[in-house]
Amino acid sequence: MDARLDYFADPTAAKTFKHFMTVGKALKDSALPGPTQELVALRVSQINGCAVCLDMHTKDAAAAGESPVRLHLVAAWREAAVFTEAERAALEFAEEGTRVADGHGGIGDEVWARAAEHYDPAQLTALTMLVSFMNMVNRLNILTRQPAGDYQPGQFH
pTM beyond 0.75, yes or no: yes
Contact 146, 48 (CB under 8 A): no
Q: For residue 95, is it within any domain?
A: yes
- Running along the chain, 157 residues long, what does each successive block of 10 average in pLDDT? 79 88 94 97 97 95 95 97 98 96 84 98 98 96 88 79
107: containing domain: 13-144
Q: What b/e string do you get for 5-27 counting C-beta neighbours within 10 Å, with b at 16 or more?
A: eebeeeeebeeeeeebeeebeeb
| DSSP for residue 2 | -
DSSP state string for 106-151? SS-HHHHHHHHHHS-HHHHHHHHHHHHHHHHHHHHHHHTT---S--
Residue 104 in any domain: the answer is yes
153 domain-assigned: no
- The tens digit of pLDDT for each residue in 76-101 reads 999 999 999 999 999 999 999 999 87
Asked whether residue 131 is domain-assigned, the answer is yes
Domain contains 3: no
Residue 33 resides in a domain: yes
CATH number at residue 35: 1.20.1290.10
Counting the structural domains of the chain, the total is 1
Query: Residue 157 falls within a domain, yes or no?
Result: no
121 vs 102: CA distance, rounded Å: 27
Q: Tell me, yes or no, whether 126 lies in a domain.
A: yes
Q: For position 92, what pLDDT does the model report?
A: 97
